[in-house]
Structure 1
Amino acid sequence: MTDQLAGRLRGGAVIVTGAGSGIGRATALAFARAGAHVLGVGRREEPLRDTADGHPGIAFLAVDIRADGAARAIVDEVIERWGRLDVLVNNAGATAMMPLADTDARRVDDLFALNVTAPSVLAHAALPHLRAGRGAIVNVSSTYGHRPLPGAAHYAASKAALEQLTRSWALELAADGIRVNALAPGPTESEALAAAGLSEAAVERIKRDEAASIPLGRRGTPEEVAAWIVHLADPAATWITGQVLTVDGGLELT
């Protein structure tokens, strides 16, 4: 992280959801190293504590972002601690392998509740404070938000929805000076596949297949993705809004 970047973000307040592992943890650490105050949010306290142990600039709040009142509690925690909110990173989400033959309404509802509804409600709660500081929202999508994914169409659709929210919010909030962008990572080392309920053998098979399909020949690391999330939130990116930046080793080109 350059000194210049650290200077621009120093003292700002950032919310990162899904901060207990993977991209969320790497993002929380990247913002903190740039001098920002970070509230890491997630469902499980112990992984969040591990993230916070990585840097004194990180605090955490264990809460299910889908719960009633969770969005308000998250925003209130930031304002109580630091008196401001500059950046919201909507990173929390779930992957669901769900072929059409196995699709049912509850699984679809659960997926969209986490990947689409919760980020929307949190952005709503954050909006007055983002307006006050002419802040930024970064939504974490996926290469599969704009690329077909047979066998997991509803996951892809939820990320496509997040990308369209990004574009629409960018236009809606431009007059307030709020920038809204999305970062779309390709297959990245994280706990997402295991969390989807796949066996260890299935996870390893998918990882091998994904690496073989990526032009650069490997899966990404959370740190590679986090660096671009921070850059999209950087106050110096003053003329970038409504964009979906794909960081996937060239996968979307295939």
Structure 2
Amino acid sequence: MTDLTGVVTGAGSGLGRAAAEHLLALGARVACWDRNGDTLAWTEADPGALSTTVDVTDPGQVSAAAADLRRRWGRADFVVNSAGVFLVGPLAEVDPVAVRRLFDVNVVGTTLVTQALLPDLIATRGAVVNLSSTVALRASRSNAHYAASKAAIAQLTRCWALELAGHGVRVNAVAPGPTGTGIYAAAGMPQSQVDELLTARAREIPLGRIGDPAEIARWIGRLLADDWVTGHVIPVDGGLSIA
């Protein structure tokens, strides 16, 4: 990854931060984007990081951040679309406003970011890694709309891979299983409910435990580095998707 430059969205916490830290450790220069600028304080100690407060649902902010990256570093070789929100709840209780926000961040945001950096990716024959989820691959009783948003990401990944292959741009996704991040608390779940959920999920996972963000980050790095893999959604889930 040495001498490569790119963007990680949602880099202030969770899987986005883990991905950004991993890519920086590999020698990449990483523009770390997050809606909450305060969460990007960790980047200040790394000279290879460029932190920018960006709401990925705002086309103007995304375009401005992309232009700033080009002014600083000249190009983008990769994009990691990690910014996302979580939604849990049965059909009878789900809030349509929350559903719109879910798709706006998870699907539209992924589109806006990739679109803004597409000229760079074509010029550099670069790579995109999107964040899908195991729930995009197997049915879930409790978070259908979140699963649907991540299924949309999986299919965008496959379609973009076909669309952009002629330009030499590779597009893949990782589909993490339950992982120890703050996404559940950010969705408003109390810690007791989070603990109960993760304990229950761990019992379903063949390898017997939830994931660590660093394990997801390593697969993101592999997909960015590999030159002959495109259009795949890789489950990184301890075997949950086949259970």
Does 2:17 correspond to 1:28? no
Kindly provide the CA deviation profile for residues 126-154 of structure 1, in whole angstroms up to 9, marking residues without a partner as x.
Answer: 11010000000100110011111112100
Q: 1:13–1:78: 8 Å Cα contact kept in structure 2?
A: no
Kindly provide the CA deviation profile for residues 228-247 of structure 1, in whole angstroms up to 9, marking residues without a partner as x.
Answer: 0011001xx22100000110
Over the aligned positions, Cα root-mean-square deviation in angstroms equals 1.0
- Counterpart residue identity of residue 175, structure 2: A
- Residue 74 of structure 1: how far off its partner (Å): 2.1
- Residue 46 of structure 1: how far off its partner (Å): 2.0
Matches of 1:203 and 1:17, distance apart in 2:
24
Out of 221, 224, 227, the position equivalent to 1:238 is 227
Does 2:34 correspond to 1:38? no
Q: Name 2:201's counterpart in structure 1.
A: 210
Aligned partner of residue 179 in structure 2, secondary structure: coil
Q: 1:145–1:163: 8 Å Cα contact kept in structure 2?
A: yes
Matches of 1:151 and 1:70, distance apart in 2:
33
Q: Name 2:236's counterpart in structure 1.
A: 247
Q: 1:29–1:54: 8 Å Cα contact kept in structure 2?
A: no
- Residue 54 of structure 1: how far off its partner (Å): 5.4
Q: 2:54–2:62: 8 Å Cα contact kept in structure 1?
A: no
* Long gaps (5+) in structure 1: 1-8
Matches of 2:59 and 2:96, distance apart in 1:
21
Q: Name 2:98's counterpart in structure 1.
A: 107
Matches of 1:141 and 1:59, distance apart in 2:
25
Does 2:194 correspond to 1:196? no
* Long gaps (5+) in structure 2: none
Out of 151, 155, 158, the position equivalent to 1:164 is 155
Aligned partner of residue 52 in structure 2, secondary structure: strand
Is the deviation greater in 180-189 or in 70-79? 70-79
Superposed counterparts of 1:1-254, under 5 Å: 9-50=1-42, 52-53=43-44, 55-234=46-225, 237-254=226-243
- Counterpart residue identity of residue 55, structure 1: D
Q: 1:29–1:58: 8 Å Cα contact kept in structure 2?
A: no
- Residue 21 of structure 1: how far off its partner (Å): 1.0
For this pair of structures, how many residues does the alignment match? 243
- Residue 44 of structure 1: how far off its partner (Å): 1.4
- Counterpart residue identity of residue 245, structure 1: I
Matches of 1:91 and 1:45, distance apart in 2:
15
Q: 2:136–2:154: 8 Å Cα contact kept in structure 1?
A: yes
Aligned partner of residue 113 in structure 1, secondary structure: helix
Matches of 1:31 and 1:59, distance apart in 2:
13
Aligned partner of residue 69 in structure 1, secondary structure: helix
